[in-house]
């Protein structure tokens, strides 16, 4: 049984990723909240996931469902113990942070639960009846922040071209300064912001100090 996978993203689409681990590609389904947390990850990036492996007579094709943290996996395993909530339904229903869902269960907030995708009022009542009183630690879970998306390639290219052709920097030096700027401020989205961060980094360098290579 598969419980954990670490590897490189080969494909990313909709509600799943194709993950290359070793020499095998695994198709892993991701709840909406997990996919959002991994929104900045692109094809070729390394990720690791805690896996829920599901296979039954009703679901003969194995399902691999991935989570960033083990406690998210544990919540999912509790969620699917509710009558009428199978793995597929639970997967699609996790459209809110786990802490919010857990707090709604503890507060018997059927109205909020019924707004989860695919969960109606009757199923929301079953969720509360089954899980209320067992969600305390999940309600304390802090959401995983989405990593800032890298700037568009054309932004980096624009800045690189100006630094080389107009400002007289060597290409290798310009690439280094841009990389250092993006490391300090990964959320830049425009050429102006990137130029500003490159300039700030060079201004803060002590006189005579050689850049790292």
Residue 212 has pLDDT above 60, yes or no: no
Domain 4-139 adopts which CATH fold? OB fold (Dihydrolipoamide Acetyltransferase, E2P) (2.40.50)
Cβ atoms of 47 and 108 within 8 Å: the answer is no
Return mean pLDDT, the chain. Answer: 87
Per-residue confidence band for 202, with pLDDT thresholds at 50, 70 and 90: confident
Domain boundaries, the chain: 4-139, 153-203
Distance CA(146)–CA(158), nearest Å, equals: 26
- Model confidence at 49, pLDDT cuts 50, 70, 90, reads very high
Q: Using 50, 70 and 90 to split pLDDT, how confident is the model at 65?
A: very high
pLDDT at residue number 206: 61
């Amino acid at each position: 049984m598969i419980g954990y996978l670490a590897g490189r993203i080969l494909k990313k689409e909709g509600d799943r990723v194709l993950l290359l681990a070793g020499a095998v590609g695994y198709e892993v389904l991701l709840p909406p909240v997990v996919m959002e947390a991994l929104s900045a990850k692109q094809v070729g990036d390394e990720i690791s996931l805690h896996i829920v492996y599901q296979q039954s007579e009703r679901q003969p094709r194995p399902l691999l469902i991935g989570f960033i943290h083990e406690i998210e996996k544990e919540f999912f395993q509790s969620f699917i113990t509710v009558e009428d909530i199978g793995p597929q339904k639970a997967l699609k229903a996790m459209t809110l942070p786990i802490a919010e869902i857990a707090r709604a269960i503890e507060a018997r907030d059927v109205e909020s639960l019924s707004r989860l995708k695919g969960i109606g009022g009757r199923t929301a009542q079953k969720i509360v009846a089954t899980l209320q009183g067992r969600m305390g630690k999940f309600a304390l879970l802090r959401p995983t922040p989405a990593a800032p998306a890298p700037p568009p390639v054309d932004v980096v290219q624009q800045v690189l071209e100006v630094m080389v052709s107009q400002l007289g920097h060597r290409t290798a030096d310009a690439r280094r300064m841009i990389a250092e700027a993006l490391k300090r401020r990964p959320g830049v989205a425009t050429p102006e912001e990137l130029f500003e961060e490159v300039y700030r980094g060079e201004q803060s360098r002590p006189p005579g100090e050689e850049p790292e290579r």
